[in-house]
Structure 1
Amino acid sequence: MSPRILLTGIPGHYTRLIQRAEDSRVFYSEKQPQPETKEAYMRELKNISNTGNYLIGEGALRALSPDATHIPFWHLYNAVNNGTGLDSINKQFDICVFTCANLLRKSLSADAEAQVLAKLDMPVVMLGIGIQNRPDLEESLPEGTQRLLQVLKEKEHYFLTRGDETAAYLKDQGFSFVRPVGCPSMYFMPANMRRAIRRLPDVKVGEGRTVFTGYMGAALDTIGDMNALSSDDGRSAYVIQDEPLHFDMQIEPDEEGRVYDSTSGEMIGDLAFKGQDELKKNIKVHTFFDTNQWRAWTSSMDFSFGRRFHGNIIALQSGVPSLIVAVDDRMREMLNFSGLPKVEAEDLNSANDRSAFISDHLAQMNIPQVIEKYSDRERSFRSVLTEIGIG
């Protein structure tokens, strides 16, 4: 008999439709949000903090057996703290899959996670757990995160990590079941991922429709990318993930009071960001809160390039050739483990001609080797889920 799987943690975009939750039941609205005013747009962004995170929950739900049921983490947290408790949850489910990301970092204390998982009377799978920066592991992690690790050590636990560095750290901490698997988002549409990688040698850098991701508003690197790699015909675009929340991108409504067109995903208000005067190309700016809409729009592009992991993963899912710029240890762990196409930020930033550098980089890539490694990682991921009994 298949285990009854409780899926919680980082959600997919379907969480936007949740009206309420009672015990182990979740009630969804049939009405899609249309966050076109500034207030509604910012509220949607705050609900997930980074729209790229939706790919994590979505990838997890696709990978698990049909017996998996998503319960929003906020509902479990509220039940623990308002006296309702988790008795009904413990009766309804046999195992919990907790989707996470760069949880092991000094800037986050996982107090809420520790509190909730301590009340679950079932094994816990930490799916996609990873680091932010290697030096964080050399210091003491925040108290709440240490408490979470202790809670998990006292349970039947399964750690499926983003890569080898996190796996080595957790093994050193004495955890018994630790497997590096990558991020579940990487295995959401594997056939499209492989097709996108095969198309990389055909990319004509600086021509066609290119979609960019990065940290516009925080640094000038992304603006340099767009100036060097986008075409002159205004057909390239940039996709926001969290810049108005965390990187000082300012948005103001147009004369109709709108900042966002929910049909096209295009930002239509006034945007202001650091280095705006340095941007020499005509770039349209988009945001997507529905990953299906995001993939459908991205599928019309010719190339994806940027400094965001999930902003490029969704392009690969869409069959669009993508090159990911590795900007930190969090990304390097996932990219080194998966073998997905990457370039180091330091090498890119120091190139005199970024367009020629990227063209040469793509030409030198061993595409069959990249696909072989990715396919091996995908098989391993599904094998581990089957081993646990949740695949």
Structure 2
Amino acid sequence: MLFYSAVFRVLSVPDAEVVANSYVHERPVHLGTYINRTNEEFDRFVLPMANSYRDTFLPHLERLAKVIERLTIPVTVVGIGAQLPYGTEFSSLPDDYKKIVTRFTRAVLDRSASIGVRGEYTARLLKYLGFGDEHVRVIGCPSMFGNGPLGPLVRKVDRLAYDSPMAISYTPKVKGVDRLVEANTNRYPNSVIVPQQHHRLALMLWGENPAKVPNKRMPIHTDHPLYENDRMRFFVDASTWVEFMAEQHFAFGTRIHGNVAGVLAGTPSVVLAHDSRTVELSEYHGIPYRLYSELPPDVDAQRLYEEADFDAFGPRQAETFDTYVRFLEHNDLEHVFQPGKENPAYDKALAAAKFPGPVHTLMASDVVGRRQVMSRLRWLRQGHEGDLERPAYEFEPPFREPRGKKSLEERVTELEKELKVQQASLANWRGRMGRVLRINPLSIGGRR
């Protein structure tokens, strides 16, 4: 969410049409039509990516490689990175991993001047696989550059207090993170945790528990104190996430983008790094970090806050930003930071848009949280009036409409006519069913 929205804004120069493809090229669907339309209707295929050089993403990466190999337009990958256990030697990587990463990278470089990677570790991986330095650019994560170079990180308070507001991010699979969360949410009652996985959103929206909860101390179920006390916040839009982080005194935890959201808001943040991905991004961008394995699992937020060097962050930003825009230009991508390419209309439209705020749990006790619960009940209930207006199943195609097709107004008129036909048919069916049930209430299983 953070890096996609950032790339979208940066490439939205006047007169450009930027179309999101809803990840369709990564999914196991029949791609022939989409590939043909991509070649015919678009000038470039841009992939803002994340920790995609990882074992669990290999099937998606292989599908993307097959797609790119059939594209005849330039392809640009912005910010791809490796995710491996910290200290992994490349010689120990499985053959399948090396084969798929190589295939994807080669397909991209056959259609671009260079590939943008997240950090030095990923660059060394690609060099090990045979890709030269001239084709691999270390650019960090594009989420850091959506609005230009960032300013310094300034401590908002000299020392964290008992009631300091703070945001804690966590990765459930990291050993000891349950103790980190438990200890600091107990010490600081105004702290909240910020989950980032879609099934945590289901937990908060609907109380949907996982099938198994192997560790009851983890805040992943409805009986956890943090759920019951509504001390969880989930964000479904980048702007509201950053706005919330601006209200915090401190942010820390094991999720890299949980802390990126913090620094985007100018809030002092510390990454508790636990793999190659979190280390290389923190190092490249100058975000303060500590190796979590070298700290007590329940390390106090105050210790992290007072020991962190936030002064090194600001001076790093101009250099990394300049590297990023030079990468875009090296790949012939126009961007809003070029003279005459600014797009204030985009920012004005974004500022005027209404976005949902932080998602609360079902246990929310304040007015905002209770209104959210009410809206979820209305969505479930729908009702006759709501059913006519609901936006829940509105469909936006993953691509713009093919050229030469009917206009939006023509399609709306046709759909309205079809709707009237279906409504009449439904009314007729209801009438007939009502007569059957009234006349033959006991006809099922017996003689009429």
RMSD over equivalenced CA pairs, Å: 3.4
Which structure 2 segments of 5+ residues have no match? 336-448
Q: Is the 8 A contact 1:127 1:160 kept in 2?
A: yes
Secondary structure, counterpart of 1:160 in structure 2:
strand
- Residues in 2 aligned to 1:209 and 1:374: alpha-carbon distance in whole angstroms: 26
Which structure 1 segments of 5+ residues have no match? 1-53, 252-258, 261-266
Q: Is the 8 A contact 2:256 2:278 kept in 1?
A: yes
- Equivalent in the alignment of 1:385: 328
Question: AA paired with 1:88?
Answer: R
- Residues in 1 aligned to 2:208 and 2:33: alpha-carbon distance in whole angstroms: 44
Structure 1 residue 333: Cα displacement: 0.9
- Residues in 2 aligned to 1:370 and 1:199: alpha-carbon distance in whole angstroms: 12
* Bigger radius of gyration: 2
- Residues in 1 aligned to 2:66 and 2:174: alpha-carbon distance in whole angstroms: 34
- Equivalent in the alignment of 1:360: 306
Question: AA paired with 2:125?
Answer: Y
- Equivalent in the alignment of 1:174: 131
Secondary structure, counterpart of 1:340 in structure 2:
coil
Counterparts of residues 1-391 of structure 1 (less than 5 Å): 54-66=1-13, 67=16, 69-72=18-21, 74-76=23-25, 81=30, 83-84=32-33, 86-109=35-58, 110-133=61-84, 135=88, 137-138=90-91, 139=93, 140-142=95-97, 143-172=99-128, 173-175=130-132, 176-189=134-147, 193-195=150-152, 197-199=153-155, 202-204=158-160, 206-216=162-172, 219-228=175-184, 231-232=187-188, 234-242=189-197, 244=199, 251=203, 259-260=204-205, 274-276=215-217, 284-349=231-296, 354-355=300-301, 357-362=303-308, 365=309, 367=311, 369-390=312-333, 391=335
Secondary structure, counterpart of 1:324 in structure 2:
strand
Structure 1 residue 341: Cα displacement: 1.6
Structure 1 residue 124: Cα displacement: 1.6
Structure 1 residue 284: Cα displacement: 0.3
- Residues in 2 aligned to 1:92 and 1:336: alpha-carbon distance in whole angstroms: 39
Q: Is the 8 A contact 1:209 1:301 kept in 2?
A: yes
Structure 1 residue 185: Cα displacement: 0.7
Secondary structure, counterpart of 1:198 in structure 2:
coil
Structure 1 residue 86: Cα displacement: 2.9
User: Which is further off, 130-139 or 331-340?
Assistant: 130-139
Structure 1 residue 103: Cα displacement: 1.8
Distance 1:306 1:182, change over 3 A: same
Question: AA paired with 1:158?
Answer: S
Secondary structure, counterpart of 2:115 in structure 1:
strand
Distance 1:70 1:250, change over 3 A: closer
Q: Deviation per CA, 1:310-329: give whole Å up to 9, x if none.
A: 11111222232211111111
Q: Is the 8 A contact 1:208 1:235 kept in 2?
A: yes
User: Which is further off, 303-312 or 127-136?
Assistant: 127-136
Question: AA paired with 1:312?
Answer: N
Q: Is the 8 A contact 2:112 2:331 kept in 1?
A: no
Q: Is the 8 A contact 2:45 2:73 kept in 1?
A: yes
* Number of residue pairs matched by the alignment: 315
Secondary structure, counterpart of 2:190 in structure 1:
coil
Structure 1 residue 289: Cα displacement: 1.4
- Residues in 2 aligned to 1:389 and 1:333: alpha-carbon distance in whole angstroms: 27
Question: AA paired with 1:131?
Answer: A
Question: AA paired with 2:215?
Answer: K
Question: AA paired with 1:174?
Answer: F
Distance 1:91 1:297, change over 3 A: same
Secondary structure, counterpart of 1:165 in structure 2:
helix
- Equivalent in the alignment of 1:46: none
- Residues in 1 aligned to 2:225 and 2:35: alpha-carbon distance in whole angstroms: 55
Question: AA paired with 1:145?
Answer: V
Distance 1:65 1:277, change over 3 A: closer
